[in-house]
Amino acid sequence: MPGPPASDAGWGKLPLVVDTSAFSRAHHPNVREEWKRVLRADRLRISPAVRLEILFSARDGKSFDTLAEQLSALRPAPLSVSVLHAAEEAMSALAHRSAGTHRIPIVDYLLAAAAQEAGAAVIHYDHDYDTLAQVMEFESIWLASPGTLP
């Protein structure tokens, strides 16, 4: 059964697999304290694909090292063979649903599949996870309501 869309009940109690869209906005005053709370509660997880995506944004060696240290505080959300298979199954399901529906970034498929395998939610600021939650079993949790953060 596909995962439910995000609710207004906050970030729930599940582990949270972090999308780049959430990580890049975690410093915003509207979400900073809740982010710190779930970080202290050891609920945040990161996949290797998102780790690389975030590190790619570093402007120089010093900022790369700072980001790498921050990301090291998060538990891993592994990319196993079964995660890769689940990502492909989700892509197939969306491709058969409607032409073009499957054209979602590959990293988003991998992250959603990692969350599904871990019994976790994905925390994001990206509509694609709501689409993926229709064909996969994970909870799609918005960092903040759509359109409320830059």
Eight-state DSSP code of residue 29: T
For the residues 91-102, what does the mean pLDDT come to? 93
Taking only the tens place, the pLDDT of each residue in 25-69 is: 999 999 999 999 999 999 999 999 999 999 999 999 999 999 999
Grouping H, G, I as helix, E, B as strand and the rest as coil, residue 49 is: helix
- Answer yes or no: CATH 3.30.720.110 is held by domain 16-140: no
- Listed in sequence order, the residues at least 6 apart from 61 whose beta carbon sits closer than 8 Å to its beta carbon are none
> pTM surpassing 0.95?
no
Domain spans of the chain, in order of start = 16-140
